[in-house]
Structure 1
């Protein structure tokens, strides 16, 4: 059944982040059951040229060769991915229209926007294409070169040191709240409509601290315009090898990973789902694709099963929801 997404439209874009997976061979039985005379259309949840669009095009190029089938990318910006999801839901549910989007569609957006239905039941993840974490950064004028020094600095001025997020209600916001609780500090939150304006204000010294996606922060870190303190990944990022993880520094509750995924509606035939997943994993495991993703500030994804991805989405959804509930955050 096709249903329109509700309004109001999200006012903020989601930050973001994410990379490739390991190869498996496509099932001959699945290949035989799925028609290949129609082009595959990948709806990318974001504007042309953005990270999600680039990941979708890398996938499309590989799928076209792997499946010997025409594959096109159709970027759909707006509403933090809601416009793209609406497009997917309105297309035939036969496996010829798929979605590339962030896990935030399920783990964060339902907490930010009021929906008439359960987003987790409308779209299903087939494969993790890539991943990235959050990095805490600060303006060079902040008298701190480590997370411990940041915490000490904030404690000297409770309630007077602020941190930026790329959107209220997102992981970028939640992580600051979690650090407040874990470290016994009181940073105030300043929400923005996207990573770019937030980073601009941090680099300008208007807001001293920020939690941002690694891909968007890396160019500014390398240019010396912001200072990194810690990353949210389970291990140090190879893109920022000298930056410790929050877990290393004694804050395991701040471990979090965002990922770009390949999604379909759950009622797409199983044979088509299997064919798409297996081909996507094989494509994203190719060395050239993995290298290109790293250039974007993304890391290779993991070959988690759809069931494992769904389980992780539930965990992330509950985690974000619990933190937002503690500050009485209300969806728009």
Structure 2
């Protein structure tokens, strides 16, 4: 240090004072750097946060939501409470969150069905795009294309060739308008230029029974249950809908490898907040959610639930992702002749 310095016994006191001042400046600078994060965290009210989940307790969407809520409760002062609000394709939960106080204490945990609600329901009391803000896309899971054990089809090419020889005669399973089973099936039929008869079920479990008995010709099922169906001998897996093969059954090709890249599909889950929620709150929620999803124990649990891609992207990327999915599915449903009701 140059410039005037004291002599004698005052020199040590001078150095201590100078160092104290420098340390104070460093701490002040560190405090200023941390201020945005602290301010964002402070904006989230100090009371329990309700996470409204569109699915029933015990299903894949619910279990992923509970893992996230538990992790957020450990990282933030607030307690995150899962509340299953089912019905109307997720619209009951979505409407409740869209009309909630935009302070970050009422959140929506939804999935792919959010992308089709505007195309399926003519009278919504909220706008899926304008009234809800994505915080982060949480995860993606594949679907598995299955045929009966007795089917002559050993590949996607076999199935497509047979369906083209017998247009409209083969039957595929769905779980009603807007469900993942229907969406991925419609996407595949569109990509392959096929016509099949739709058979609606109340969930995939009864559809698997009919698949095993040969009463339907094709079923797309969620990865975790689809792989179990194939491994249990109740169906034959021809392809996975995801962009990459699954480590669970690495010998099963993707639909893109089978020649139909436009049939690529993943079931996704997203965390959303009401429009008008402060940006600092959104940023805090996304940052902490990404940290939860980065935890190795959480990642292992998600993998066991059939998740093949853990996302945790930022709000802008999540917004773009969800908007793209809404546009995609509105086009698919319109071309399939499914109109809002």
The alignment status of 1:193 with 2:202, answered yes or no, reads yes
Matched, 1:312 2:321: yes
- Using the alignment, how far apart are the partners of 1:321 and 1:32 within structure 2? 37
1:152-191 alignment runs, 5 A limit: 152-191=161-200
Report the CA distance shift for 1:178/1:82 in structure 2 as closer, same or farther (over 3 A): closer
Decide which structure has greater helix share: 2
Q: Are the equivalent residues in 2 in contact too, given 1:39–1:72 (CA < 8 A)?
A: yes
How far apart, in 2, do the equivalents of 1:198 and 1:26 lie? 54
Deviation by residue 1:214-273 (Cα, 9 ceiling, x = unmatched): 233222122121111112211112233221111112111111222111110121111111
> Compared with structure 1, are the counterparts of its residues 179 and 66 closer, same or farther at alpha carbon in structure 2 (3 Å cutoff)?
closer
Alpha-carbon distance in 2 for matches of 1:307, 1:167: 32
Please point out which of 239, 250, 265 is paired with 1:256: 265
Answer yes or no: is the 8 Å Cα contact 1:26–1:275 preserved in 2. Answer: no
From 70, 95, 102, the counterpart of 1:86: 95
How far apart are residue 150 of structure 1 and its match? 1.4
Please report how far the alpha carbon of residue 121 of structure 1 lies from its aligned counterpart in structure 2 after TM superposition.
1.3
Using the size of structure 1 for normalisation, the TM-score is 0.84
Q: Which deviations, in whole Å up to 9, do the C-alpha atoms of 1:62-108 show, x marking residues without a partner?
A: 11111133222111122221121133234322101112110321x11
- 1:172-251 to structure 2, matched below 5 A, reads 172-251=181-260
Higher Cα Rg, which structure: 2
Q: 1:71: which partner in 2?
A: 80
Tell me whether 1:286 sits opposite 2:295 in the alignment: yes
What RMSD over aligned residues (CA atoms) do the two structures have, in Å? Answer: 2.3
Query: Judging changes above 3 Å, is the alpha-carbon distance between structure 1 residues 32 and 248 closer, same or farther for their aligned structure 2 residues?
Result: closer
Q: 3-state DSSP class of the match of 2:129?
A: helix
Q: Distance in 2 between the 1:323 and 1:300 partners?
A: 24
Counterpart position of 2:123 = 115
2:78 is paired with a residue of what secondary structure? coil
Q: Is the 8 A contact 1:290 1:300 kept in 2?
A: no
Instruction: Report the TM-score, using the length of structure 2 for normalisation.
Output: 0.82
Q: Which structure has the higher relative contact order (CA within 8 Å, separation 6+)? A: 1
In structure 1, the residue matched to 2:43 is: 34
Query: How has the CA–CA distance of structure 1 residues 84 and 177 changed in structure 2, closer, same or farther, with 3 Å as cutoff?
Result: closer
In structure 1, C-alpha distance between the alignment counterparts of 2:35 and 2:259, rounded to whole Å? 43
Point out where structure 1 has 5 or more consecutive residues left out of the alignment. 1-24
**Alpha-carbon distance between aligned partners in 2 of 1:262 and 1:177, rounded to the nearest angstrom:** 26
Deviations, residues 107-153 of structure 1 (Å, cap 9, x unaligned): 11222222344211121211121111222111111111211111222
Structure 1 residue 295 and structure 2 residue 304: aligned?
Answer: yes
